Amino acid sequence: MSGVFLSVLTRELRLALRQGGDSLMVVAFFVVTVVLFPFGVGPEPAVLERISAGVLWVTALLASMLSLDRLFQQDYEDGSLDLLVRSSAPLSAVVIAKVAAHWLTSALPLIAAAPLLAVLLQMRGDGFAVLMAAMALGTPSLSLIGAVGAALVLGARRGGVLVSLLILPLSVPILIFGVSAVDAAVMGLSYAAQLKVLAAILLVTLALCPFATALALRQAVE
């Protein structure tokens, strides 16, 4: 099981590194969209500070969705997904490895870029560490939920647009608790509860989503 996990993970990481570009595109999208907000709502520091946590979370959510088609689409088209599904290895382990690779190559750069953008949005100092902690706990759940969506739309018409309709409603709780953790920290309140809820969501998605994704992949290649 751990052998399969590691070999799929290294394969995915190697592919992502050699193709390059993809992770950079996600970060570039994140930065550009965030920078648009001061133009949209005006540059007053008080306004930007108030909305900074929400803006960063929403744009991170959208950015992480950009790269979802990379998760299974290529393997589905070139037939390697058939081999993965038919191999004796547990499919959920393969899914977890692919999601882990997706998280490392698309969400981790976002988390690294977030403090810089938080400075641009005038976020107060207390928020930075909590923002990163909340994103570290929340983005793996986003990747896991996204994997289910990406697997469900394989072979569908207009799959890319469809996947956002499917998974955005399911991502709402992560967004709510992610933003409220940062807001609490900025206001000097306790944020432990929100982080614990994010951790709980992560455990639930970790238990359910690989299973559901495997189910969806099986019926996609049948």
Partner 1 sequence: MQKFANPTRFLKLSKVLVPWCAGLTAVLSVVGLVWGLAFAPPDYQQGETVRIMYVHVPSAWMGMFAYMFMAAASAVALIWKHPLADLAARAAAPIGAAFTLICLVSGSLWGKPMWGAWWVWDARLTSMLVLFFLYLGYMALANAFDDVTRGNRAAAILCLIGAVNVPIIKFSVDWWNTLHQPASVVKMGGPAIDPSILWPLLLMGVAFQLYFATVVLLRMESGIAAAKVRALGLLEAGG
Contacts with partner 1 by CB under 8 A lie at 148, 152-153, 155-159, 162, 165-166, 168-170, 172-173, 208, 212, 215-216, 219-220
Angle value at C-alpha 91, between 207 and 23, nearest 5 degrees? 80
- Toward partner 1, which CB reaches closer, 18 or 157? 157
- Closest among 117, 107, 125, 220 to 174, alpha carbons compared: 107
- Toward partner 1, which CB reaches closer, 134 or 150? 150
- Toward partner 1, which CB reaches closer, 17 or 208? 208
Q: How far apart are CA 155 and CA 159, in angstroms?
A: 7
Q: How far is the CB of 186 from partner 1 (least distance, A)?
A: 20
Q: How far apart are CA 152 and CA 5, in angstroms?
A: 22
Q: How far is the CB of 162 from partner 1 (least distance, A)?
A: 6
Q: How far is the CB of 109 from partner 1 (least distance, A)?
A: 27
- Toward partner 1, which CB reaches closer, 20 or 169? 169
Q: How far apart are CA 17 and CA 131, in angstroms?
A: 27
- Closest among 3, 48, 6 to 186, alpha carbons compared: 48
